[in-house]
Structure 1
Amino acid sequence: MRLAALAATVCVTLAALPAAAFAQPELMSATPAAKSVVNKPTVITLNFSEDLVASLSGIDLVMTGMPGMADHKPMPIKGMAAKASGKTLTATLPRPLPTGTYVLTWHAVAADQHRVEGSYGFTVR
């Protein structure tokens, strides 16, 4: 009987813990946004559902297409200064992005130490 009561107490206690304690960061918004067409951005901002671990979170950006160059190979954008603060991951670009298509890949780690990642594309006109 005591074992059943203890098991029930443990189950109730675990169920009462906040769900956020087990949550992983989720991308809530981004600028530039997925599939958007923008004018020469100089900053990329990603907002997440959880506070991020700055040293384990980051952004990579690759230019995948350029007007007038059908055989353009993907070119990684170098020189970005990415930093995380609270729930926001920001990358400052060394110069405005030229006209073309881009794929942004991000990775984020919150207090639970689980790495999540994603990617999306956008266009600069």
Structure 2
Amino acid sequence: MRLAALAATVCLTLTALPSTAFAHPKLLSANPTDKATVTKPTSITLNFSEDLVAPLSGIDLVMTGMPGMTGHKPMPIKGIAARAKGKTLSATLPRPLPSGTYVLTWHAVAADQHRIEGSYGFTVR
């Protein structure tokens, strides 16, 4: 009887623990957003569901198309220094982005130490 009561107490205690302690970070919002058309952005901001580990989180940006240039090879945008603070991953661009299409790839690590990745595209007019 006491063993059953102890087991029930342990089960209840485990279910009462916050579920976010075992979760991975999720992208909640971004600026620019997926499939957005924007005018010459100078920064990127991604907001996650959990605090990030700064040295293990980052952003890569590639220009995938340029107006009037068919067959444009993807060009990585250099000079992006991403910073993670709390639940936000942000980057100030070295200059406003020129017109074209872009793919933003991000990677984020929270306290659980699992690397989560994602990507999306947007257009600059």
Q: TM-score range by the shorter chain?
A: over 0.9
Structure 1 residue runs of 5 or longer lacking an equivalent are: none
Question: Counterpart amino acid of 2:69?
Answer: M
SS in 2 for 1:104: strand
1:18-57 paired onto structure 2 within 5 Å: 18-57=18-57
Cα separation, 2, equivalents of 1:113 and 1:9: 29
Query: Does 1:104 pair with 2:108?
Result: no
State the match for 1:114 in structure 2: 114
State the match for 1:13 in structure 2: 13
Residue identity (%): 82
Offset of 1:72 from its aligned partner? 0.5
TM-score (normalizing by structure 2): 0.95
State the match for 2:68 in structure 1: 68
SS in 2 for 1:122: strand
Moved beyond 2 Å, runs of 4+: 1-7
How many residues matched? Answer: 125
Q: Deviations over 1:10-53 (max 9, x none)?
A: 21110010112112111111010110000011100001111111
TM-score (normalizing by structure 1): 0.95
SS in 2 for 1:107: strand
